Amino acid sequence: MSEKWQSDAWLNVARGQLGVAQDRGRFAKPNPRVLEYKAAIGEPDREGWCIAFAAWVLGQCGIAHPADLNFAAWGAECTLGLGAIGVVEKLDHPFHHVGFVIGWTTEYSKDDDGKDRQRTVTVTLLGGNHKGRVTEREFSFDRFVAFRYPEGAL
């Protein structure tokens, strides 16, 4: 199976969840779909659910998530690419933020010797719990600690 086909599979599953929102408010009932994401990692009371969303999406494609929920050390390290799992540093939390890479912006410039330089500036993730919903969100490339791909899928 090619890398492109596999990443297309989980990106299609993730895209199908765009807009799913965690119900908020004093009297709101929990969204059953978000509870399903959390059940995928066995933590139904977990407040943050980006990891649960990623685990649920991969599970829909028959891919096991990391047992310790540490996507930064899971699977195989890879370079920035479509479908990779991007792991974003969170300074105020023991877990990182994760999502599926769906795009990035690149800046081009010349160095002092006149050679062309290319630098990734931002990365767009499709993920869960971006302000309480499944959506696309842009992050500075400098905040990423890892890009991962399921073991054996490269």
Q: Which domains does the chain have, with CATH numbers?
A: 3-149 (3.90.1720)
Per the prediction, the chain carries an average pLDDT of 88
List, for residues 40-59, the tens digit of each pLDDT value. 999 888 888 999 999 999 99
> What pTM was computed for the model?
0.88
Digit-coded pLDDT (tens) for 81-130? 999 999 998 766 667 899 999 999 999 888 888 888 888 899 999 999 98
Alpha helices in the chain (DSSP H): 3-15, 32-39, 50-60
Query: Rounded to whole angstroms, how far apart are CA atoms 30 and 21?
Result: 9
Helix H or strand E encompassing 119: strand 116-130
* Contact residues for 34 (Cβ-Cβ < 8 A; gap 6+): 20, 21, 22, 23, 49, 128
